[in-house]
Amino acid sequence: MQPFRNLLVALSRIPPLFMLLIIIGLAATATTIVTSQIRMIDAKAELEKQRIAEAENTTAAVVFATKDVAEGETIPSDALETRNIQVRKIPADALTSCSIAAGRVAKYGVSAGTIVSQHDLAPIGVSIGFESKLPEGMRALTFGVDNNTGVAGFVAPDSRVDILALVGTAGDTKAWPVLSDVRIIATNQSYQRPPGQTAATPSSCVTVAVTPEDARKLLRAMSASKLYLTLRNEHDHTPVATTDISTLFAKSPVAVSSNTLPIPPPIPNQDFGSTLPPIGEYATGSPIQTATQPRSNYEIEMWSGSKKDVLSLASH
């Protein structure tokens, strides 16, 4: 407290005019310092605005996907293109050249219109397993096709098809879709579409991804009919009406074997003595055929001493 008191005593001895000059000087110095600081802050803000404006006007090339690429699929070159966008909007790991991604395997699904980044690509030399082509809850099922039933080989992995069943012959032929908008996940033993392929590749079998219930439905159609594929546009997912294969077969009446005898009606509870056929007849009413035995004469032996006489009498 003593130093503070000494300061007050010293200030009380300063003339008022001189004290006023000191106060004015201190205020001017503070104002100058504050103004300088404000000017420095304004200058920094102006530089930041100029930098932001320059960044907004500065663009760079990045790689975009032009169509959907499924997980595990080899990325074709025609699914990629470069576009110029603002630098501030470019992700840190974005690809800047299509050649980096073309022919690589997609580690995750890439949607059309999105930027392709390094984390979207599987490491070189590492392939994604076939099981990754199956969405959760789906099953893979394979059946045979040929050039006619398999759209001449233009069906490839990731194609969308309808599956039709054909039964009957001539005028009784019936055809109806049994499954709609089914995804092909493999043809023969290949589950990746070759990049840039333009020619058809004939297949002897295709593998589809279906639900467990559709798998049972398809198995019944495979055993009872001939299956045909109809190829869809890659963007067409409109469902079509489907049916169960059993409805395509006419219901035939149950045939009765000619060797089966009808079951006789039950015998009423009555006096059998009045209904039984007479003795000597079958149940059908025909008389029993019996052999007629010839009638014989009676013979009487008469003895007189040692002499024997036989008397024959006719029987009646």
* Whether the predicted pLDDT of 221 surpasses 90: yes
CB environment 42-66: b (16+ within 10 A), e (fewer): eeeeeeeeeeeeeeeeeeeebbbbe
| From 89-103, 162-176, 248-262, 296-310, the region with the lowest mean pLDDT | 248-262
Domains assigned to the chain? 60-120 (3.90.1210.10), 134-248 (no CATH)
Q: Among 300, 282, 301, 298, which residue's Cα sits nearest to residue 290? A: 282
> Residues near 181 by Cβ (< 8 Å), separated by ≥ 6?
160, 162, 232, 237, 238, 239, 240
Report the distance separating Cα 201 and Cα 145, nearest Å.
12
Question: Per residue in 261-310, pLDDT tens?
Answer: 555 666 555 554 545 555 554 445 455 455 555 555 667 677 666 677 77
| 66-70 mean pLDDT | 87
Indicate the range of 137-141, 158-162, 255-259 predicted with least confidence.
255-259
Cα–Cα distance between 76 and 80 in angstroms, integer? Answer: 7
Q: Which residues are CB-contacts of 217 (< 8 A; sequence separation ≥ 6)?
A: 178, 179, 244, 245
pLDDT of residue 52: 77
Amino acid 136: pLDDT: 86
Q: What is the 3-state secondary structure (H, E, C) of the chain?
A: CHHHHHHHHHHHCCCHHHHHHHHHHHHHHHHHHHHHHHHHHHHHHHHHHHHHHHHHHCEEEEEEECCCECCCCECCHHHEEEEEEEHHHCCCCECCCHHHHCCCEECCCECCCCECEHHHECCCCCCCCHHHHCCCCCEEEEEECCCCCCHHHCCCCCCEEEEEEEECCHHHCEEEEEEEEEEEEEECCECCCCCCCCCCCCCCEEEEEECHHHHHHHHHHHHHCEEEEEECCCCCCCCCCCCCHHHHCCCCCCCCCCCCCCCCCCCCCCCHHHCCCCCCECCCCCECCCCCCCCCCEEEEEEECCEEEEEEECCC
Rounded to two decimals, the pTM is: 0.46
Could you tell me the pLDDT band of residue 6, with boundaries at 50, 70 and 90?
confident
- Mean pLDDT along residues 245-266: 62
Tokens of 26: 């201190």
Average pLDDT over residues 97-122: 88
Residue-averaged pLDDT of the chain: 80
Q: What's residue 80's pLDDT?
A: 93
The predicted structure's pLDDT at residue 283: 47
Q: How many Å from the N-terminal Cα to the C-terminal Cα in the chain?
A: 181
C-alpha gyration radius of the chain:
54
**pLDDT for 34-58, tens place per residue?**
888 898 998 998 888 888 777 677 8
How confident is the model at residue 210, as a pLDDT? 95
